[in-house]
A = this chain, B = another copy of it.
Amino acid sequence: MKVYLTGAGLTKFGELWHYSLEDLAMQASKEALSEARVSLEKIEALYVGNMLYGKLANQDQLGALIASNLGLTVPAYRVEGACASGGLAVNLAWEAVSSGRYKNVVVVGAEKMSDDETLAVTSALMGAGGEDERKAGLTFPGLYAMMARAHSEKYGTQRSHLSSVAIKNHFHASLNDKAQFQYEIDEARIVSSIMVCDPLTLYDSSPISDGAAAVVLSSEGSRGDVYISASQVAVDSVSLSSRETLWSVPSAKLAVKKAFEVCGKGPEDVDIAEVHDCFTIAEIMAMEDLGFCKAGEGGEFIQSGKTRLGSKLAVNTSGGLKACGHPVGATGVKQIVEVYCQLRGASGKRQTDNPKVGLTHNVGGTGATAVLHILQK
């Protein structure tokens, strides 16, 4: 059964001190429900993507919590796969509508990271890594820095390639009033910023963010008839040390292969993509893993402007994780919201030219979980 997107909701992303996770989840969910024009009685299940709230706020059971806040008594689930939690929640919701079990469901991804000290968040985020990595004292910037170094040694990827990702995504975010960082940056600013983990500077890294995103998935369409034509998940070892390669993400390659097979499309058909740029190197690897360019050419591909707003393929028009923000459990759902709005022509200043096929790429950890969606109209 075809799965339509009939409503979307998105909070501002950023440091939202005055709102709790519950506030943000409610705001996004209600906006999505209102847009979908589906009454609450017709909602048959709720899927909540969240990674950190149990650890940072000691609140579990978010499925029941958010469902009951909305006034629902239907099946409600919290789904977790680290930074791919939102994507996994969309995937399970898609399956439930696709199979004909439900006609209307809500997915909400939410995270509240700014209420805690940086160290508490950094430690909590390492739950997405392996025990060996935590014991070794690694952090996520460290893990992605190793991938950046490996990619650089294998393919010659340079500082300027990394910078081109951040410059493009900050430009896109400057056009997005929901983005955490609505300003442009240049190479000079990047190279003079704090080195987080060589070669990754502050501006190579996605921020700590609060935010929520929600969508309503339905078996009957409306609002421009945007539908999800493929939803695929693949997994791999959690620890980078057990991976066969450091310069690519095998789970993403596997998931996108399956996704394109399901809907009969290929990378050449994609007009718009939201990819998991938790660090700049991740977007470079994504371009290669998703087949938008050849292995090793991701840096050049981005630097040449081929993924900037106005090109045939626009990548991370929201500003991506880097500049729109990365409330981890919300990210996978926000990607869907951005592509849905683009396909409907509702993206205002950052609207692309009549896109028909969109893709989202949501990654957990360094690639233990990859969730790929294809959206079409």
A105-120: CB near B (< 8 Å → 1, else 0) gives 0000000000000000
Q: Residues 62-95 of chain A: 1 if any B CB is under 8 Å from the residue's CB, otherwise 0?
A: 1111011000111111111110100010011001
In chain B, what residue has the closest Cβ to A22? B131
Residues of B within 8 A of A131 (CB): 57, 59
Are A80 and B81 touching (Cβ within 8 A)? no
Query: How far in angstroms is the closest Cβ of chain B from A82?
Result: 4
Question: Is A234 in the interface zone, CB < 8 Å from B?
Answer: yes
Q: How far is the CB of A230 from chain B (nearest CB, A)?
A: 13
Residue tally, chain A, CB below 8 Å to B = 57
- Other-chain contact of A65, B61, B64, B88, B238 (Cβ < 8 Å): B238
- Expressed in whole angstroms, the minimum distance between the Cβ of A94 and any Cβ of chain B is 11
Complex-state Cα separation, A24 to B76, whole angstroms: 27
Expressed in whole angstroms, the Cα–Cα distance for A235 and B68 within the complex equals 7
Is A296 in contact with chain B by the CB < 8 A criterion?
A: no
Contacts of A369 in B (CB 8 A): 61, 63-64, 76
Contacting pair B236 A73 (CB below 8 A): yes
Of A121-129, A209-217, A263-271, A341-349, which binds chain B? A121-129
User: Does A241 have its Cβ within 8 Å of any Cβ on chain B?
Assistant: no
Q: Does A285 contact B (CB under 8 A)?
A: no
Stoichiometry, as copies per complex, reads 2
Q: Which residues of B contact A61 (CB under 8 A)?
A: 80-82, 84, 127-128, 238, 364-365, 368-369
**Which residues of B have CB within 8 Å of A82?**
60-61
The reply to whether A65 and B368 contact each other, CB–CB distance below 8 Å, is: yes
CB distance from A26 to the nearest CB of B (A): 14
Interface centre among A59, A60, A81 (most CB of B within 10 A): A60
A74: B residues at CB distance < 8 A: 233-235
Write the residues of chain A forming the contact surface with B, with a CB cutoff of 8 angstroms: 51, 54-55, 57-65, 67-68, 72-82, 84, 88, 91-92, 95-96, 98-101, 123-124, 126-128, 130-131, 134, 232-238, 242, 251, 254, 364-365, 368-369
7 nearest A-B pairs in the assembled complex, by CB-CB distance? A99-B99, A60-B127, A75-B233, A64-B368, A64-B235, A61-B82, A68-B237
**CB distance A75 to B91 under 8 Å?**
yes
Contact between chains at A77 and B79 (CB < 8 Å): yes
Pair B127/A73 contact, Cβ less than 8 Å: no
Alpha-carbon separation in the docked complex, A251 to B68 (Å): 11
**Nearest CB to that of A89 among chain B residues?**
B77
Whether A81 contacts B64 by the Cβ 8 Å rule is yes
Indicate if the CB atoms of A124 and B58 lie closer than 8 Å: yes
A101 cross-chain contacts in B, Cβ below 8 A: 95, 98-99
Which residue of chain B lies nearest to A75 when distances are taken between CB atoms in the complex? B233
Cα–Cα, bound, A75→B101 (Å): 19
- Chain B residues with CB under 8 A of A124: 58
Min CB gap A101→B, angstroms: 6
